[in-house]
Structure 1
Amino acid sequence: MAVFSFALLSLLVALEASASVTVRKTGRGPTGYEVEFRYANPTAKRVLIGGGMQPFTDQFHATGTDYRFNGRYDPHDYQPGDFYISNPSPRLPAEPEYKWPYEMTQSRNEEGLWTYTTPLPSGIYSFAYLVNCNYAPNCTIDTGHLVLDPDLPPFMNVRGDQVASSFQVPFDARFQASPELNTNFDYALDAPDPKRHRGVVKTVNYTSPGSIHPAPDVHDFAIYLPAEYGRVPGKKDYPLLYLSHGAGGNGADWENLGRMSHVMDNLIRLKHIPPTVVVTPSFYNLDPQGPLFIYGNQSNNLNVPIPPAQAVRKNFEQFLFPWVEEHYDVCRNASCRAFAGLSMGGVLTHEMFVNATDMFDYYGMFSPATSGPYIDAAAVAANPSLKEKGIMVAYGLYDFVFPAARNLQTALDAVGIRYITRVTPFGSHYWNTWQDELWWFGQKVLWKELPFTVQTGRGKRC
């Protein structure tokens, strides 16, 4: 039995709590893997697992909008082709009518120890412990009911910037393969040979006049540096990808919730792309007028508007982009620079494409929550280089932005702009979808020959 241990038991003194998450290869159904959660808290009366652990569904029952008629499954009932879908609908009733599937039980042998073991298929899972809370959507950090795993802390810049930890489960073709869907996410596992294939990712604070977090006139981003960075004498022009989060997120999301560095390690290791630097910026808290957005402050975040994409673009052009070029050995021309983002980050990518066209040659609009106005013939006539870029429009088959993404494609088609499309067959508006889209963006779009043709993305003919 192979064991992947993501945390060692230790004491979180302030809460008198300790925790561990262990992923085991079982060699038996339903998925070939099981995950054991252990959480020690002698004061807890009830513990749920939430923070991103969603019920499963399948490709025929993926509406997720009404608990009475949808196909939500307990993970113990998993069958090949099932996948988990994010839709915490406010129409769900309060418990006990709607039972949360991830509920821990108190050990009979060890006082104060809570455990839960479940089979899980391939993919990334984010989670937190929901303590003494009867309805998962109401459990938050600011109410004291949401507790982060003390031994598997999230990747973040400062405390409060993330509200969940994450782990990755491998794929077992014997139990998980499905003729309808390919839900193998092993490209987000650790790359072999750490010295040769694993880059580093860290958070960085940079000077940004007017920004209000994490300090006055200071903003932050996360950066991935490929394994060879700093080891090749004289190399100064690494390709550069900017990768944006979505509404209600921050620059640590792509690493903490999407394991971006693992995806990039494997894209580079398998020679889909050359070693590439990735910057994941934050688009909140750039305006000195506020209000302040902090991930863990759920009650305050309800009143924080999404910053206009145009304002974010201007700020990044003035402060972020020059700072990165000054401090890192990255490319300084459009041919080896790209911008991509998910959801509202896809809207920001569209803004960059239309109004910062000469800065990047490649654009990835993942689950873009665009609503127009879209590009038109007049814009192309004024800026012909719009037709010379490498574009990917990607979204999930069960993604709520499906109509918006289709409208964006229609607008691009109308003015003759070629692009690559990826419709993730199991995809909802969630991180496994965006992992999939980043993986295919790297394989089919990044740094490929321009302009795109009908052959682009198909690879070489045999």
Structure 2
Amino acid sequence: MPSFVTRRAAAALRTLAVLAAAFVLTAGGSSAQAGKRSDTGHGLAPRVVHTGTGPTGYQVTFRYKDPDATSVKIKGEWYFANPYELSALTGDKDTTIETPGLLPAQWEPGDIPIGSPNSSAANWPVAAMTKDSRTGVWSYTVPLPSGVFNYGFYVDCSSSTQTGCTQVSDPGNPPWNTRNGKTTGSVQALSQVHVPSDPDFGTVDYGWQAPADGERGRLADVSYPTSSPIIPAGTNRLAVYTPPGYDAHRSKPYPTVYLFSGGDNETDWSTQGDVSNILDNLINTGQIQPMVVVMPNSLGETQDSSGYPAFDANVIDHVIPYVESHYHVSASPSQRAVGGQGFGGSIAMSLLFRHTDRFGSYGILSPGVIAPFTVPDASDITDAQVAAIKKVGVLVGGGWQEPSVTPSGVHGAGHSYHARVVSTLAEKGVGLTADFVNGGHEWFVWRQLIKDFLTRTALFPLVTG
């Protein structure tokens, strides 16, 4: 029996109290009004309070103003597990490690955020919020450990599984590309909150994910011309980060990192991935050099069974030329890096094998097994490909507990597949950095891995013996 069963029993009274409160709050729900969103929530950003009490030393109050709503629910990335209390640290190609879905009140030192059931789907708890009838503000308070947490709201959603309902971001804490109710570029349905660490309660210091105390870079959502078939035809989107003190006239052009998301839009890395805060902190502390980071929209390009020719062509023929003509960046491949997670990791791997000389370093994070491009068998990799790959930096990483079976039932995914990528390249004599951390297929893992990629592999010269 997995040891988390015993632990859940020890916390049973706390769990029942939480569930009982949720039951009272959800009683009497009404019919769903999918996509309903309040525009009256400005100034109601999450309130992060240092309590100095257990379990984490901090609590967060989330608020949403909608006097006319009959119910508001919040979904957030706060199921937890201790990886060393699971049945194993990782599964094989046919086995996904089960997770207990511990609630925040049950958090203990060593616990990490991980969905339950453990899946590539966003399996996180949904809780009912409490309405103040006097102000029309709905609220929910929860203790949280340190780090960044994604969350969103469901308004007047009667479905217990949120079927037919639309999740919306926090009007009081909107994504960076939404201002005064108007969005530039793609709509992001999630907001983020950062919680500091209280070492007295054993929480990890993730201060490098917090908004920087010093100078901050800038984000812009721009359109660029492409052969993409998305609407409007002939254009697609980029989110572009320019570093603190960006100088378009300095003598030395900036290096560039291109980051793809897991099959979603250009805002993912800069919102859910928290990458702009991570970059600000790493640059301000001298851990990495100032750089321009480009995050393309991973949607809208066609693909076929031979790989990602449309994605590859779009990056090479459209994205890179646009960036190099609009920003003061180097045109040298050694000063370009590319990376991505999930589907974006597969895009980076496709570029590694098909267009190796276009970038100097590659970050392949949790690549997907069900995409048309998967790692070739070692016997199918040519000597020319091996020689080219040996000239670039490569980091391959993921979460130890990533699920080995996809929601559609495909086996051999998750950590077992990521390990296969490492072993295949190693078999061909390719030097690389293998980087695995405790966690599932989620942003908790990828924030750590992007920090590692930026500080250990991206834009660094090769170490040769």
The TM tier, using the shorter chain, reads 0.7 to 0.9
Report the AA paired with residue 48 of structure 1.
K
SS at match of 1:204: strand
SS at match of 1:36: strand
- CA offsets, 1:361-397, max 9 Å, x none? 1100111224432455752345512112111111111
SS at match of 2:281: helix
The count of aligned residue pairs is: 400
Q: Residues 171 and 376 from structure 1, CA distance in 2 versus in 1: closer, same or farther, beyond 3 angstroms?
A: farther
Structure 1 stretches lacking a partner, 5+ long? 1-12, 93-97, 178-182, 291-304, 454-462
1:144: how far off? 5.2
- CA offsets, 1:156-199, max 9 Å, x none? 4647621111121122221134xxxxx432211122222xxx11
CA RMSD of aligned residues (A): 3.0
Match of 1:146 among 135, 151, 167: 167
Residue 146 (structure 2) pairs with residue 122 (structure 1): yes
Residue 115 (structure 2) pairs with residue 86 (structure 1): yes
Report the AA paired with residue 435 of structure 1.
R
1:72: how far off? 1.4
Q: Which residue of 2 aligns with 1:205?
A: 223
Q: Which residue of 1 aligns with 2:9?
A: none
Residue 422 (structure 2) pairs with residue 399 (structure 1): no
Residue 263 (structure 2) pairs with residue 244 (structure 1): no
* Aligned positions of 1:161-310 closer than 5 A: 161-177=187-203, 183-194=204-215, 198-213=216-231, 215-230=232-247, 233-247=249-263, 249-287=264-302, 309-310=308-309
Residue 62 (structure 2) pairs with residue 25 (structure 1): no
Q: Which residue of 1 aligns with 2:337?
A: 338
Matched-pair contact (CA < 8 Å) for 2:101–2:117: no
Match of 2:449 among 430, 437, 449: 437
C-alpha distance in 2, partners of 1:437/1:274?
Answer: 18
Matched-pair contact (CA < 8 Å) for 1:55–1:101: no
Residue 122 (structure 2) pairs with residue 104 (structure 1): no
1:446: how far off? 2.0
1:209: how far off? 2.8
Match of 2:433 among 414, 420, 445: 420
- CA offsets, 1:102-148, max 9 Å, x none? 321233x6353322111111121111111233456425xxx455343
C-alpha distance in 2, partners of 1:398/1:88?
Answer: 12
C-alpha distance in 1, partners of 2:84/2:47?
Answer: 31
- CA offsets, 1:288-321, max 9 Å, x none? xx9xxxxxxxxxxxxxx99952320112111111
C-alpha distance in 2, partners of 1:385/1:431?
Answer: 31
Q: Which residue of 1 aligns with 2:360?
A: 361
Matched-pair contact (CA < 8 Å) for 2:99–2:117: no
Report the AA paired with residue 265 of structure 2.
N
- CA offsets, 1:9-36, max 9 Å, x none? xxxx974752431112222221121101
C-alpha distance in 1, partners of 2:63/2:139?
Answer: 5
C-alpha distance in 2, partners of 1:398/1:99?
Answer: 16
- CA offsets, 1:214-238, max 9 Å, x none? x22111110111112117x433421
SS at match of 1:446: coil
SS at match of 2:390: helix
SS at match of 1:340: strand
Q: Residues 282 and 176 from structure 1, CA distance in 2 versus in 1: closer, same or farther, beyond 3 angstroms?
A: same
Match of 1:71 among 100, 120, 138: 100
Q: Which moved more, 1:161-170 or 1:411-420?
A: 161-170
Matched-pair contact (CA < 8 Å) for 1:130–1:145: yes
Report the AA paired with residue 226 of structure 2.
S
SS at match of 2:128: coil
Q: Which residue of 1 aligns with 2:33?
A: none
Report the AA paired with residue 245 of structure 2.
E
Matched-pair contact (CA < 8 Å) for 1:388–1:450: yes
Matched-pair contact (CA < 8 Å) for 1:347–1:368: yes
Q: Which residue of 2 aligns with 1:448?
A: 460
Identity %: 28
Structure 2 stretches lacking a partner, 5+ long? 1-35, 178-182, 404-413
C-alpha distance in 2, partners of 1:72/1:256?
Answer: 24
Q: Which residue of 2 aligns with 1:458?
A: none
C-alpha distance in 2, partners of 1:77/1:279?
Answer: 39
C-alpha distance in 2, partners of 1:62/1:159?
Answer: 41
Q: Residues 359 and 193 from structure 1, CA distance in 2 versus in 1: closer, same or farther, beyond 3 angstroms?
A: same
SS at match of 2:440: coil
Q: Which residue of 1 aligns with 2:32?
A: none
C-alpha distance in 2, partners of 1:419/1:47?
Answer: 47
TM-score, scaled to structure 2: 0.78
Q: Residues 166 and 393 from structure 1, CA distance in 2 versus in 1: closer, same or farther, beyond 3 angstroms?
A: same
Matched-pair contact (CA < 8 Å) for 2:223–2:238: yes
SS at match of 1:20: coil
1:328: how far off? 0.9
Q: Residues 227 and 99 from structure 1, CA distance in 2 versus in 1: closer, same or farther, beyond 3 angstroms?
A: closer
C-alpha distance in 2, partners of 1:240/1:374?
Answer: 31
Report the AA paired with residue 134 of structure 2.
E
C-alpha distance in 2, partners of 1:432/1:410?
Answer: 25
Matched-pair contact (CA < 8 Å) for 2:260–2:340: yes
Report the AA paired with residue 154 of structure 1.
P
Q: Residues 217 and 250 from structure 1, CA distance in 2 versus in 1: closer, same or farther, beyond 3 angstroms?
A: same
- CA offsets, 1:255-312, max 9 Å, x none? 011111111111212222211110010121135xx9xxxxxxxxxxxxxx99952320
Q: Residues 359 and 17 from structure 1, CA distance in 2 versus in 1: closer, same or farther, beyond 3 angstroms?
A: same
SS at match of 1:27: coil
C-alpha distance in 1, partners of 2:415/2:130?
Answer: 39
C-alpha distance in 2, partners of 1:171/1:344?
Answer: 32
Q: Which residue of 1 aligns with 2:71?
A: 46
